[in-house]
Amino acid sequence: METTLDRISSTEGRLKVTLTEADYKPEVDKKIKQYSKTAQVKGFRPGMVPKEYIQKLHGKSILVDEVINMVSKTVNDYITNNKLRVVGDPLPDNEAAKNIDWDNQKEFSFEYEIGTASDFSVDLSAIPAIKTYDIDPSEDKINEAIEDVRKRFGKDTEAEEVEKEDMIFGILKQESTEFDVKDASIPTGRVSDDAFHIFKGLEKGSSVKFDIQSIFSNTKDLGFATGKTEEEAAALSGEFELTVEKISRSTLSEIDQELFDKALGEGKATNEAEFRAEISKVIKENYARESDYLLDFEVEKTLLDNIHIELPNEFLKKWLFNINEGKFTVEDIEKDFDAFAKGLRMDLIRNEVSAKNDVKLEYTDIVDEVKAEMRNYFGAYSYEGLEDMIDQMARKTLKENKDNAVRRYTDRAYGKKIREFLKANITIEKQNIQVDEFNKIAETVYA
């Protein structure tokens, strides 16, 4: 057996595997002998079928299977033993394979196109420092958050006439189509500014007519008002009449102990100063997550900007077209290729970091990933024994492995572990900034 790699460029080559009869014949003979002992053939007793008869019936198919399996293993072993950074899968030369004469040939040669990433190294100590942000909410942001909390826990009262932000309940009709919704609800806060004058000052029992498509800026709001799907709401047209049955107005909750307990949980704050401090802490925690997302993004961007990896672009485009079997056109692949190549380079960097630093994933890391998702589902809800229940549910999820759960959570846990390793080994500079300044930075980065 002979295996050779002919380099066409630093990222592409042709791998050739040649098998002689001495390479495959022992395995073929062994398979034929096994068939003769197990084959059920009419006219022969079990285990007594002559090898010559098996050769005549199945010899060619056995030969093909053994040669293909041997070549496939040889290709994989060559890639592993020579530590080739193969990207995509080797593409066989199918035209050459069609010309093989399996009845008469004794020697077989197979050729594959292969694509590899160029050589690169990852020196995290040489990566430029990356900024991360400790975000302090301004007084205006704290006031806005408190206003939102007061609205959320406010009390609904019935109003005499419509003002902005009121909810109008009533009957919505269109005589020409016999359209009739007895529980229509118009959130005036969502009504477009140009249309609010239609509803302003309406009282209980009054009616008003309007063009149905003129009151909201989107079909989602219209669907909510009419109790229809967005598609159904989009199809509505013409003049409708609304008869007001009730006007509901939400008044802001008082800043008192009842609000503190509802918004934060009992005992978290006993006065307005403590309440503001807790709200500030919540805002800060929320933005800390945003800052961490931004840091992950910046780490990847900085690694990609500072580690040059050349890819076999044309080979990869051809491979993507072949493996998708017509699901995507050449134009589709071309359009999305830059994003694919960027992800592939990042995967290569992660794998290099993992191998070089012996970053290992433990089973508990995978379990923790499932548990984190479940905790997010339960949110702030808590009771005695919840953690034990979450742990049992997480392990059951992995054991059942529905929808390939193990692979999904393993990939997530691996990505998280590598991200944490990278952030621990790259120079990170922390900077204190205000929320508005952070938002401007984030807009620039994600643009």
Whether residue 262 is contained in a domain is answered as no
* The pLDDT of residue 51: 76
Of 251, 281, 297, which residue is a domain's last? 251
Strands of 48-178 (E only): list them: 86-92, 108-116, 130-136, 155-158, 167-174
Residues 231 and 347 in one domain: no
Q: Which two tokens stand for residue 202?
A: 């309406």
State the pLDDT at residue 136: 87
The per-residue pLDDT for 248 is: 92
pTM of the model: 0.70
Do 35 and 175 reside in the same domain of the chain? no
Let me know whether 293 and 339 are in one domain.
no
Give the pLDDT score at 169. 96
Residue ending a domain, choose from 116, 139, 164: 116
User: Is 259 within the bounds of a domain?
Assistant: no
pLDDT score of 199: 95
Same domain as 106, residue 52: yes
Domain-located, residue 128: yes
In this structure, are 441 and 370 located in the same domain? yes
Q: What is the pLDDT of residue 395?
A: 93
Tell me if residue 426 falls in helix, strand or coil: coil
- Residue 19 sits in the same domain as residue 55: yes
| pLDDT the model gives residue 383 | 62
Q: What is the per-residue burial (b if ≥16 Cβ within 10 Å, else e) of 246-268?
A: ebebbeebeeeeebbeebbeeee
Is residue 18 classed as helix, strand or coil in its secondary structure?
strand
Q: Residue 382 has what pLDDT?
A: 58
Picking from 23, 9, 15, 24, the residue whose alpha carbon sits closest to that of residue 82 is 15
pLDDT score recorded for residue 381: 57
* Contact of 227 with 184, CB cutoff 8 Å: yes
Q: 131 and 173: one domain?
A: no
DSSP 8-state secondary structure symbol assigned to residue 68: H
DSSP state of 161: B
Question: Could you tell me if residue 257 is inside a domain?
Answer: no
Instruction: Please check whether residues 329 and 395 belong to one and the same domain.
Output: no
Asked if the structure places residue 131 within a domain, the reply is yes
The single-letter DSSP state of residue 430 is: E
Q: Please check whether residues 55 and 80 belong to one and the same domain.
A: yes
Q: What is the CATH number of the domain that holds 26?
A: 3.30.70.1050
Of 16, 10, 3, 7, which is closest to residue 93 (Cα–Cα)? Answer: 16
Pairing of strands 12-19, 155-158: unpaired
Give DSSP secondary structure letters for 201-241: T-BTT-EEEEEGGGS-SSHHHHHHHHT--HHHHHH--SEEE
The reply to whether 415 falls in a domain is yes
**How many domains is the chain built from?**
4
Q: Which domain holds residue 37?
A: 2-116
Separation of alpha carbons 25 and 31, rounded Å: 10
- Domain assignment present for residue 105? The answer is yes
Query: Is residue 406 in some structural domain?
Result: yes
Block means of pLDDT (10 residues each) for the chain, 447 residues, are 93 95 92 78 71 80 93 95 94 87 92 95 95 91 92 88 93 90 92 94 95 92 90 92 93 91 90 94 90 94 96 95 88 94 96 93 94 79 76 92 92 94 95 89 81
Whether residue 401 is found in the same domain as residue 349: no
**Same domain, yes or no: 410 and 324:** no
Task: Name the amino acid, one letter, at 58.
Answer: H
**Among residues 234, 202, 132, which one has the least CA distance to residue 441?**
132
pLDDT score, position 32: 85
Residues 417 and 421: their CA atoms lie apart, in Å, by 6
Tell me the one-letter amino acid at 103. Answer: D
284 and 409, same structural domain? yes
